[in-house]
Amino acid sequence: MLEVKGISFGFSRHPVLRGISFSLAGGQILSVIGESGSGKSTLLKALYGLYDLDGGTIRWKEKKILGPAYNLVPGEPYIKYLAQDFDLMPYISVRENIGKHLSNFYPGEKARRISELLDIVELSEHAGKKPGELSGGQQQRVALARAMAQEPELLLLDEPFSHIDSFRTSALRRNLFSFIRKKGITCIIASHDSVDALSFADKTLVMKNGEIIREDSPQKIYSDPDSYYTASLFGEVNEIPVSQIFPELGTEKNIFIYAHELHPDEASPLKIRVKASYFEGSHYLIRGLHQGKTLFFSNPNSIPAERIIAVRPDIRIVKERLNTKNGI
Ligand code: ADP
Ligand code: MG
């Protein structure tokens, strides 16, 4: 339903998007991940029609999305775009901000929809306040609710949880995506946080330097990352020669192993000199050195610096990875 073909765009000749193509079926949720500066925000703005492209086309249901040179008021009514910096109306209440673009023709229906959205973003008790009386995270939740209020056909969310405290994010994320699914809204979410990509997206694009370097299901990308860049978007990762952990497998290949997959194992030939332990709540992330190279693994407890620890992953994970792109 959304068809993006070879779009390119740059600010004063500096190319930011280079030949981006993908398509998305109606009702699907797509996540776009990539390091800061890789072009995620620029892509979303281009999809919303805020830029005149240097090349390529964007179509939503056969209709071409055009830039400001062809559109007096940039942006399309059936698309909602939630910018990284949300702009709320300061002099009206939370309730009025959310309902701002809703018709007053059916006041009962309008009130019902606003209260459903207030529930979803958990702001019912703040409905009468003005944005200035809210924290940054609460303001971002108002902006989210406002973007969803008209039930757009296509919803573009740029880092929608960036200002929201993590203890609230998971419930909010569940509410939000179940609303989006229920309403059949097609959604693209740009995020540097891979959790947003993993749990809710049907499909994920990995962006690097203005290009799509991977397009797959989030599960597939996580369990079968084909580059260090992609793997590292999901947390600390190690690139390890298989011969250093399971020489009996007789391969010269390297594999990517996430820190939480690497554990102390006395039988392992891979010995690490511990440098630091970082408390991460449910476990410690341990940083150590092996032949001058930094490696990360997780452990239930901290480990004193300079201690030598033998580590390796479960052999099942190694065999699995060797059968995929990951074996490099
Ligand atoms: P991301 O959202 O992935 O962090 P952006 O799309 O914001 O990346 O930025 C991609 C690149 O485009 C960056 O190098 C950034 O400096 C550049 N860029 C973004 N907006 C502008 C702008 N208005 N003018 C010039 N360069 C810009
Ligand atoms: Mg951005």
159 CA distance to ligand 2 centroid (A)? 7
What pLDDT does 83 receive?
Answer: 87
Q: Which of the ligands is closest to the CA of residue 38?
A: 1
Give the global pTM.
0.90
For a ligand 1 pocket test, name from 41, 48, 156, 205 the mutation site with the most ligand atoms within 8 angstroms of its C-beta: 41
pLDDT greater than 80 at residue 58? yes
Q: Which of the ligands is closest to the CA of residue 160?
A: 2
What pLDDT does 169 receive?
Answer: 84
For the stretch 247-280, pLDDT in tens is: 999 999 999 999 999 999 999 999 999 999 999 9
Among 197, 123, 186, smallest CA distance to 159 is for 197
Cβ–ligand 1 distance for 34 under 6 Å, the answer: yes
Give 73's pLDDT tier (boundaries 50, 70, 90): confident
pLDDT greater than 60 at residue 326? no
Contact present, 71 and 78 (Cβ < 8 Å): no
Question: In the predicted model, what is the mean pLDDT of residues 102-120?
Answer: 91
pLDDT greater than 60 at residue 327? no
What pLDDT does 70 receive?
Answer: 84
Q: What is the mean pLDDT of the chain?
A: 92
For the stretch 148-165, pLDDT in tens is: 998 899 999 999 998 888
Give the list of residues 6+ apart from residue 167 with CB closer than 8 angstroms, or none.
Answer: none
Q: Which atom of ligand 1 is nearest to the CA of 35?
A: 3
Give 308's pLDDT tier (boundaries 50, 70, 90): very high
Cβ–ligand 1 distance for 16 under 6 Å, the answer: yes
pLDDT greater than 70 at residue 127? yes
Q: Which atom of ligand 1 is nearest to the CA of 12?
A: 25
Question: In the predicted model, what is the mean pLDDT of residues 101-109?
Answer: 87
Q: Which atom of ligand 1 is nearest to the CA of 190?
A: 2
Give the list of residues 6+ apart from residue 201 with CB closer than 8 angstroms, or none.
Answer: 29, 30, 31, 189, 218
